[in-house]
Structure 1
Amino acid sequence: MRERHQEAIDYVQNLVAHNKLDHQLPILGEGLSGKVYGLEDYAIKVYKDDYSEKDDSYMLHHLQDHSAFPTLHHHEDKFMIVDRVQGNTLADSIKAGEKLSDQQFVQIEDIVTDLYDHGIIAQDLHLNNMMIDKDGKIKMIDVGRFFHTDYPELYQDILEDHLNLTQYHMGFFSSIKDKLKKKKYYGSSSHRRYRKHSSSDYRHHRHHSSSSSRRKRHYYGSSSSHHRRHHKRKSFFSS
């Protein structure tokens, strides 16, 4: 298996170096940051040359113990290689006339909650960034705008808005607000309790912003030494 991964890496490196990806591999999708190509059971995300934010591979590295995210096999400055999810995006499923289930939305809620409990804010939850695999499980395939924070409670309202919008686009038009209060967002002792943030939260956040920024720069550092330190860190979801 390791040899097969290395063969894929060498092949993609050669295509990227000679700018032949568009001629050799099918395009699975395209976004602001770059294009995603298919190679057998791999998906290759190739960044645009002028795209400066390439943090998704670093975030994905820390999410490898979470079943909702594809396995990361390799990443470097210009591209990363992950497992190709066999299935359709939620957007494609809706376009094909498929009716999405409430259980699929509950899966999304649970993923977002789990990330929140580990200080990760799941932004950019549009339907092209989520897939339904062959087993009916939700997979998050783009984490480019996810971020880690020491103050996740400050983003409670934003997450509720994202989930409400996702629910609406999935075809469920009732508000999620009451449902959240009944679920583990507010009621479970096994999860961190969401709470409304106050002005004191923001003052506390501003007071620590400089040290938090330093931690973030260390976490997303671009030098090779930072990369080595990054890979030695434990996953957010490891026991």
Structure 2
Amino acid sequence: MNSSQYNFYVSTVSFSNKNNQVKVLKHHPDLQVYGTGRSAVVFKVNGEHRVIKIFYPPFEKTAIQEKNNYEKLKGSSYYPTIYESGPNYLVMDLIEGKTFFECLAEGILLKSDYVHQVDNGLQYARDVGLNPSDIHLHNLIVTKEGTIKIIDVARFSQEKQCTQWQDLKNGYEKYYHRTYFPTKIPKWIMNSVSKLYRLRNK
């Protein structure tokens, strides 16, 4: 598909923002909402193994930052490939799998090899001059092939040191394989812990 077509798709998308709740009002029928986040919504493109990540106003600067960070990570299998970008969007690989959050909620085993792969991916980011930050359960994906993909890297260029992944890993190593650790963790518990963590580290 040519670049003007992706740009056209982006132009068909509109949002509403009420009480800090962003909703998609309309989009081209070739697009399907694939995921939403604090700064962007991801659309799957029909007939392609790609997605378009469109950033809400006023997160255009975040789009540029994420593009620059992905360019530095180019060549690593731990991160999606970027095919095109615009002032407020990125076109990248469609990643099919389960996030760490979904695995914990559904009782899918998080293997120690997954944690090792995350460590390798984050070390690669450090080696190219980035500072891995904001590593949480939603941006770590286990693919159908059992490999790890790390997404949402806009904050990898911040200077502040982030201990979130180390804290998660410490919890995994200390508690996850204990007999008393629950097979499934309710989503509301994980969301509550995440919210408290963000408040503590503001």
The question of 1:164 aligning with 2:166 is answered yes
Task: Give the counterpart letter for 1:17 in structure 2.
Answer: S
- Closer, same or farther in 2 for the Cα pair 1:104/1:138, shift >3 Å? same
Instruction: Give the number of the structure whose residues are more often strand, by fraction.
Output: 2
CA deviation vs aligned residue, 1:115-155 (integer Å, no higher than 9, x gap):
22332111011111111112211101211111177xxxx84
Q: 2: distance between equivalents of 1:14 and 1:59?
A: 25
Q: 1:56 corresponds to which residue?
A: 66
SS in 2 for 1:128: coil
State the 1:173 CA deviation: 2.7
CA deviation vs aligned residue, 1:144-197 (integer Å, no higher than 9, x gap):
111177xxxx84xx4xx323332266x4435xxxxxxxxxxxxxxxxxxxxxxx
Task: Give the counterpart letter for 2:53 in structure 1.
Answer: K
Stretches of structure 1 lacking an aligned partner (at least 5 in a row): 175-239
Q: For 1:73-222, list aligned pairs within 5 A.
A: 73-147=83-157, 155=161, 158=162, 161-167=163-169, 171-173=172-174
- Closer, same or farther in 2 for the Cα pair 1:25/1:81, shift >3 Å? same
State the 1:67 CA deviation: 1.1
Task: Give the counterpart letter for 1:144 in structure 2.
Answer: A
Q: 2:75 corresponds to which residue?
A: 65
State the 1:109 CA deviation: 1.3
Q: In the comparison of the two structures, how many residue pairs are matched?
A: 160
State the 1:36 CA deviation: 0.8
Q: 1:198 corresponds to which residue?
A: none
Q: 1:26 corresponds to which residue?
A: 32
TM-score normalised by length of structure 2: 0.70
Instruction: Give the number of the structure whose residues are more often helix, by fraction.
Output: 1
Moved more, 17-26 or 31-40: 17-26
Q: 2: distance between equivalents of 1:66 and 1:148?
A: 20
TM-score normalised by length of structure 1: 0.60
**Structure 1 stretches of 4+ moved >6 Å:** none
Moved more, 11-20 or 66-75: 11-20
Q: 2:195 corresponds to which residue?
A: none
